[in-house]
Structure 1
Amino acid sequence: MRIIVCDEPGKLTLKEESRSLPGEGYAQIRIRRIGVCGTDLHAFEGTQPYFNYPRVLGHELSGELVEANGAAGFANGEIVTFIPYFNCGVCIACRSGKPNCCVKINVCGVHIDGGMAEYLNVPVYSLIHGEGLSYDDLALVEPLAIGAHSIRRAEVKRGEFVLVIGAGPIGLGIMEFARIAGGKVIAMDMNAKRLEFCKEKLNVEHVINVSTGDVSAQLAAITNGDMPAVVIDATGSLKAINNSFQYIAHGGRYVLVGLQKGEISFSHPEFHKREATLMSSRNATREDFEHVIASIKKGWVQPANYITHRIAFENITGEFEGLLDPANGVIKAIIELE
């Protein structure tokens, strides 16, 4: 079978390897769609934490189940996706119902080889029914689940202002599920085209371009002086993360979804007087995946809105670098295997 390997930063190679049979407790999926995410792009750039080379990228996946291998309730030929965070099941996080932050977690395409391949073996416990959704829809469930999980972590309440910093695919998913939870979404980015996308495709009422005007003053005007009850970073930019502590309302919550390698810093007195809450949001759980699939089936989320680029599997090595160029206007690229 064909696989695509990131040998080192900036280098992808199309290779052939033998197709292995799934062992006990594993199922095999014939991959049909691969979503390209920020993790893949950062790995290609050489800026992704927790990463070693060479690595087969890819964890936003959908395909056909060709060997269910005893997975309860699943059948060969079924269209599926899966939870790509493989957990140990016995550590303190797993015992606490948080397999998404397992002490020994193996994220597909990050810690272990992923799904830029024609076939992939995955633990049977990770399988997710397709529920009649398309390959395209199912390939976007995982990134949308990241957004859904962050909103659940933040415990967004109806009527609260939710500031989402970063209008990339993860940020857009956060906005969708903030809206579904009843929040009043404020989108912030420096890319005018992405902010326009927020308004046109996601019906976000309030957008702020950080390159124009006083951000704090604009937030105060939108929130009637209260500032956002929830602030969520989806940029992974150290500067953006540090700057955003000043935007939190008194009694507010700040959730870090974006990830970077540096150390954050903030004014303790300013943070303390707000009695603010700082938390991270890592990966997602089955509950989040199921919430996303239900939301798509109800028409609350339209995955097709996100897909701006399509690439044939055999063309990835030549076209992947172009996905990093802001001039190409990529929201979500999908790799297709037929």
Structure 2
Amino acid sequence: MSEKMKTAVFTDIGQIELEECNRPEAKGNKALVKIDACAICTWEQRVYTGVNKVEFPFIGGHEIAAHIVALGENVNKEEWAVGDKVVVGATLQCRNCFFCKSGNSQSCDHFNHSAHLEGMPHKGMGGLSEYMLVSPDCMFKYDKVTPQEAAIIEPVSCVVHSVEAAQVQMGDMVLVIGCGIMGLLHVEIASRQGASVIVSDVNEERLKIAKSMGAKYTVNPKKENLAERVMEITKGIKAQVIFDTTPIASVVEDAFQCVSNTGKIVLYSSIHPAKKVPFDPGWMHSKSIQMIGTANSNDRDFVRAARMVSEGVIDTKPFISEVYEKEDIKAAFESAVQGDKFRVVVNF
């Protein structure tokens, strides 16, 4: 008779409940991991609120810290052992398309949040469960930090990818718009690249946190004109790199006023609701402006993010706003969707 496990299942908009199902068994080139903690990303929050459309029932969760409890017979035993602490990521790429094969699996042509993972009772990313089957391709070792801190490694990996896509250089003036968890991680990582970081947010408390994480300048656009302040700070040159971490279309237009000649604007966040933004192609051409979209992360990003968090280069403790047990999954989501937290983490 199969062992059982609990998994949290979205059954409708605003509805999530624990369901008992069969626990999968490690076999072939798959490891069975016991999930210790899973953070609730804005992606899952939007499933809960109905902004992201999925087919119910659906299993969310992709910011995952776990440990290996069993190895399939074909898993490389020199690299992996029962007890290894791992973060699980990069599970949604097909690993077969042109983009995956050319080292850009974060932009996989078949990236699918609603895939049906082996061993799971329903479609979805699977991290809000007690156990899951994982290919070694999708496991990345961590140590020295708690599972709750390690659950934030996935967001860190996405920001590592973003900062590298922008090719932030030592001495750059960087503007980060938005001081949510992703904005603050951009502050930390860009400042460690040798950039001088300006942050913009209407929340004074979060501006203070940004300062403590390495921001040199803070701007509240409700109280000051952002473009004028950036001109003043940079002595008229403006910012070489701008990271827009907000979901608001009009903020993209604000960024146009703040970018320097030869500068880059990185659209880190998805835009909700989706809306077109007008721009002047002549200006973009004449000033050599680059617009870059970035989403997700790849294996290389995960390896380095796991190392940075394990070694304390990036401290993820400040981003853990609340921790809930799996039995309180609905309360965890109700808290997360209030929008006043960084990450709510669920222990499994």
| TM-score between the two structures when normalised by the length of structure 2 | 0.89
How much has 1:175 moved relative to structure 2? 1.4
Q: Which runs of 5+ in 1 are unaligned?
A: none
Q: Which residue of 2 aligns with 1:299?
A: 312
Q: Which residue of 1 aligns with 2:228?
A: 217
Q: Which residue of 2 aligns with 1:19?
A: 23
Q: Aligned with 2:43: secondary structure?
A: helix
**Partner Cα distance (1:269, 1:45) in 2:** 40
Q: Aligned with 2:312: secondary structure?
A: coil
Q: Which residue of 1 aligns with 2:278?
A: 265
**Is the Cα–Cα contact under 8 Å of residues 109 and 115 in structure 1 kept in the other structure?**
no
| TM-score between the two structures when normalised by the length of structure 1 | 0.92
Q: Aligned with 1:290: secondary structure?
A: helix
Distance verdict in 2 for CA 1:294–1:113, change over 3 Å: closer
User: C-alpha offsets along residues 42-101 of structure 1, whole Å, 9 cap, x if unaligned?
Assistant: 22122237x443321110011111122243211112111122343222211012111111
Say yes or no: does 1:32 pair with 2:36.
yes
User: C-alpha offsets along residues 82-121 of structure 1, whole Å, 9 cap, x if unaligned?
Assistant: 2234322221101211111111123489973321111111
Distance verdict in 2 for CA 1:195–1:48, change over 3 Å: farther
User: C-alpha offsets along residues 214-252 of structure 1, whole Å, 9 cap, x if unaligned?
Assistant: 110011111111111001111122222233222211100
**Is the Cα–Cα contact under 8 Å of residues 241 and 265 in structure 2 kept in the other structure?**
yes
**Is the Cα–Cα contact under 8 Å of residues 58 and 109 in structure 1 kept in the other structure?**
no
Say yes or no: does 1:60 pair with 2:63.
yes
**Partner Cα distance (1:251, 1:104) in 2:** 33
**Partner Cα distance (1:5, 1:298) in 2:** 34
Q: Which residue of 2 aligns with 1:89?
A: 95
Q: Aligned with 1:186: secondary structure?
A: strand
**Partner Cα distance (1:268, 1:53) in 2:** 42
Q: Aligned with 1:174: secondary structure?
A: helix
Q: Aligned with 2:7: secondary structure?
A: strand
Among candidates 163, 175, 198, match of residue 186 of structure 1:
198
Q: Which runs of 5+ in 2 are unaligned?
A: 117-122
Q: Which residue of 2 aligns with 1:239?
A: 250
Among candidates 82, 85, 88, match of residue 76 of structure 1:
82
**Is the Cα–Cα contact under 8 Å of residues 166 and 235 in structure 1 kept in the other structure?**
yes
Letter paired with 1:20: P
Q: Which residue of 2 aligns with 1:125?
A: 137
Letter paired with 1:42: R
Among candidates 25, 45, 48, match of residue 44 of structure 1:
48
**Is the Cα–Cα contact under 8 Å of residues 176 and 301 in structure 1 kept in the other structure?**
yes
User: C-alpha offsets along residues 247-300 of structure 1, whole Å, 9 cap, x if unaligned?
Assistant: 211100111110123333322233222210111112112221222223234432
Q: Aligned with 2:36: secondary structure?
A: strand
**Is the Cα–Cα contact under 8 Å of residues 24 and 32 in structure 2 kept in the other structure?**
no
Q: Aligned with 2:39: secondary structure?
A: strand
**Is the Cα–Cα contact under 8 Å of residues 164 and 188 in structure 1 kept in the other structure?**
yes
How much has 1:23 moved relative to structure 2? 4.7
Among candidates 4, 10, 14, match of residue 10 of structure 1:
14
Q: Which residue of 1 aligns with 2:119?
A: none
Say yes or no: does 1:332 pair with 2:343.
yes
**Is the Cα–Cα contact under 8 Å of residues 165 and 235 in structure 1 kept in the other structure?**
yes
Among candidates 328, 334, 343, match of residue 315 of structure 1:
328
Q: Aligned with 1:330: secondary structure?
A: coil
**Partner Cα distance (1:319, 1:127) in 2:** 26
Distance verdict in 2 for CA 1:245–1:68, change over 3 Å: farther
**Is the Cα–Cα contact under 8 Å of residues 27 and 71 in structure 2 kept in the other structure?**
no
Q: Percent identity?
A: 24
Q: Aligned with 2:257: secondary structure?
A: helix
Say yes or no: does 1:288 pair with 2:301.
yes
Distance verdict in 2 for CA 1:331–1:151, change over 3 Å: same
Q: Which residue of 2 aligns with 1:172?
A: 184
**Is the Cα–Cα contact under 8 Å of residues 14 and 49 in structure 2 kept in the other structure?**
yes
